[in-house]
Amino acid sequence: MVYPDARLSFLFPAELKAVISSYSENFILRKVNGDAVIIESNRDLSEAFLRLASAKQVFLMLKDFSQIHELLLRKFRSRIGYYIPFTISILNFNENPSKAGEVIREIKEFSPWIRISLIAPQLELRLFDDSIGVRMPVGRDIILDRDPKYRPYAPPTAMESLLSRALVNLTRLTPGHIFLDPFCGTGSIALEAAEMGLRVICIDINPRIVEEAKMLIQEYYGHRNVDISVGDARSLDLEDESIDGIATDPPYGISSPTYGTPLNLLYREFLSEANRVLKPDACLVICHTPSIPLEKYALEMGFRYEYSFSMRVHSRLTRLISVLRVR
């Protein structure tokens, strides 16, 4: 069962489907308890959950207590043979204390070396109507460690790390794929792509900004699978059909310079170039304002327009996030 982060709930269904489909072809999503989603799959999706930006909590649903015992044996396989107690806690214990007490007793019957710890549990459980949920790690906390407020340098316009990760996830790429951000700025999106194991190419037309991106990605975080250079997104020095996916945040013309190019022309020319370098059926995830008729431009330039999301940045700016696919 997966619960969305309230701040990115508008992106949650699309990001969840994009990430899960990257790891499993056969899965079923069922919505329960409002926004929560149950995922049914025969694949281990723990890696997928670590990628998610819009998920706040994830629980592995177990039907009986013996499964918890088996899970602990797998999780702590190196310790098998040693009498070392493992610790659990039950989240929201006060919601149903009698059932929680019954669960603790039954778990101890299967695993007498389990102990309860509210301070440092190795597994956290949650009671559901017909099952037990084991809380799994998600990517949110690790991603937040890279938020602009924790970086050595970040301008006020730097994109937050959770949103940057969600944009990359919407491209449906997995480790080893070639990712491009042709309006990279100081590298917020490129950083998340690199952390996910993608081979990253990031470009910006401003030489000063490129140097700042290099400092952030290469020197501070130590990534070496990132190629950062000065370039024009309308004329990319890349071969045809060489890129697996693009996620980018172009200038909006409000406070960002467009170097004399009319905003609509900038988007049209970029979309044409993006269509050239992307592989067939590849995704382009792009931010823009409502003043840009992106769906019209996308169709003209050879893309299939899939969907858009709207988010309010501040009183004078609404950001749209559109997902396109090469036809």
Please report, for the chain, the start and end positions of each structural domain, with discontinuous segments joined by +: 2-140, 145-326
pLDDT over 50 at 321, yes or no: yes
| Two tokens, residue 164 | 């940057």
- 17-37 pLDDT per residue, tens: 999 999 888 899 998 877 899
Check pLDDT > 70 for residue 132: yes
pTM over 0.85: yes
pLDDT, average across residues 193-210: 95
Whether the domain at 2-140 and the domain at 145-326 fall into the same CATH topology = no
Which two tokens mark 126?
A: 């949650």
**Of 53, 55, 7, 39, the residue nearest 247 (C-alpha):** 53
What b/e sequence results for 30-47 when a residue is b if at least 16 CB atoms lie within 10 Å of its CB, and e otherwise? eeeeeeebebeeeeebee
Architecture of domain 145-326: 3-Layer(aba) Sandwich (3.40)
CATH (residue range 2-140): 3.30.2130
User: pLDDT averaged over the chain?
Assistant: 88
